[in-house]
Amino acid sequence: MKRQNKKKKLIDYGWIVKIIISSFLISVIFSLISEIAIPNVGIVMGILLTLIFILIGVIFDMVGIAVATADESQFHSMAARRVKGAKMALKLKKNADKVSSFCNDVVGDICGIVSGSTGAVIAIKIAENSSFNNLVVVVIIMGIISSLTIGGKALEKGYAMKKSNNILFNFSKILSIFSKK
């Protein structure tokens, strides 16, 4: 009986519902942006928008790693001295599993999916305006997007782990601007 109660406490169903709803909403917003913007802009602007989605995914992945690996003790000292952003950093660190899941899995994965779909639209535009085979263009564009996403995330992971306190603190300072006192 006690074992079942422990398992129930380990699973936060409220968080799961929140993450599902926020995933849906963020995905819809990002998809709307890409579906409305990409067909109506030129190839260069479409590529720029795709690169922005990739960059957002890489940055949020970095933040998720940093929150999970940061040292909480530094932020207690800063919070005691009322350093702006320190309390937010503590709050994020105390919820590192949820923050990391949101940053890495929700925002990061959605950006990966949306950048892939924007890449497909760009590839079709390029293929229509050139003599290249559609399949070849799509495969090359998808390869570029995948390599930029994976390479960017591989590059930032080591950095995020080494500079986790700085990344968490700077992210917390930004978030504290938008939070209520």
- Report pLDDT for 181: 59
Query: What are φ and ψ of residue 125, in 5° steps?
Result: -60, -45
Helix pair 134-162, 109-128: axis angle to 10 deg: 150
The fraction of the chain above a pLDDT of 90, given in percent, is 56
* Tens-place pLDDT, residues 138-173: 899 999 999 999 999 999 999 999 999 999 999 999
What pLDDT does 133 receive? 85
32-39 long-range Cβ contacts below 8 angstroms, 24+ apart: 34/114, 34/117, 34/118, 34/121, 35/117, 38/118, 38/121, 38/122, 39/121
**Does residue 6 surpass a pLDDT of 90?**
no
pLDDT tens readout for residues 61-119: 999 999 999 999 989 989 899 999 999 999 999 999 999 999 998 999 999 999 998 89
Residue 60 burial class via C-beta count within 10 angstroms: exposed 0-12, middle 13-18, buried 19 and up: buried
User: What pLDDT is stored for residue 1 in this prediction?
Assistant: 46
Query: Residues 70, 93: contact at Cβ < 8 Å?
Result: yes
Which amino acid makes up residue 92?
L
